Amino acid sequence: MKIKLLYLSFAVIMSASTVFPFKDSTVVVREKNVNLLNIRSTSRVSDEDSTIFLYLNFDGKSPNFFYEILHDQKNLVLSFTNTRLGGFSSEDSAKEINLGPVRTIYFDEKVKDKNAELPGMNPEWYYVTELTLHCDPVPKTENSFDIISENNIVSLTIPWPNRYKNRSKLYLLPPKKRTGLVAALTGIGIATLAGTGLLIWELSGKEEESEPLKPVLPEHPSMK
């Protein structure tokens, strides 16, 4: 929270090349930053499965990034270093997607200290843009999706199998709903419930049909 408040207080008076004294340290914001300009989405649907494609466009060479899966929050978080939300406004802090497992994408620009874990080092601040994909269900591992960086585009490919059996290999799914009928039978019929009985279960677990994917992610006005 301190970092975010610091960024908000300096944002009006500070440019990327400005150096400020901060107590006994030096606050530096790097000059070289790229801007995230636009996010596009498409999908491919077949009888067997569907695939969601997200494309992140930058105004320069795609930045370094890392990602993590937060299973308890059902989030996939992508962090891009030395990156700002160019072309986005405060109204763009969240976009509803509803494609496959992806429900919403949240945008956040932060300022972090490169030397935060190095005691005694002067802080060196840099911009980080975080994209949080809220997924329901959430991917199990990094093998559930593909991320490729090429030139000024980072592409995210998310498979979405139509069958429960195949989908459960990639995502943390709730158990399939089943109905059960229990009948206690004696050796000669349904005379009494006493004695040796045979337990019979009648199970039905019809797989849920997948709804067709409908790309609904709006283009940012600056990219039209």
What is the secondary structure of 97-141 as a DSSP string? EEETTEEEEEEEEEEEETTTTSTTPPP-EEEEEEEEEEESSPBSS
> For residue range 196-219, what is the model confidence (pLDDT) as tens digits?
443 333 444 444 555 555 555 545
pLDDT score for 66: 93
Does residue 33 contact residue 83 with C-beta atoms inside 8 Å? yes
Q: What is the mean pLDDT of residues 6-35?
A: 46
Q: If pLDDT is split at 50, 70 and 90, which confidence band does 29 have? A: low
The whole-number pLDDT of residue 209 equals: 52
Segment 57-70 shows an average pLDDT of 93
49, pLDDT greater than 70: yes
Mean pLDDT (whole number) for 153-176: 92
Pairing of strands 102-113, 146-150: unpaired
Alpha helices in the chain (DSSP H): 2-10, 164-167
Comparing 185 with 70, the larger pLDDT belongs to 70
Instruction: Assess whether pLDDT exceeds 60 at residue 4.
Output: no
AA identity, residue 6:
L
Provide the whole-model pTM.
Answer: 0.66
Mean pLDDT of 55-71: 93
Average pLDDT over every residue of 21-26? 44
Average pLDDT score over residue span 4-33: 43
**What is 32-170's CATH number, 3.30.70, 2.60.120, 2.60.40, 1.10.10?**
2.60.40
69 contact partners, CB below 8 Å, separation of at least 6: 75, 76, 77, 138, 139, 141, 142
pLDDT surpasses 50 at 21: no
Token match 């937060």: residue? Answer: 70
Q: Quick one: which of 48, 222, 33, 63 has its CA closest to 147?
A: 63
- pLDDT > 70: percent of the chain: 62
Does residue 105 register a pLDDT over 90?
yes
Taking alpha carbons only, the member of 114, 155, 132, 158 closest to residue 68 is 132
Is 80 exceeded by the pLDDT of residue 144? yes
Beta-ladder partners of 175 = none
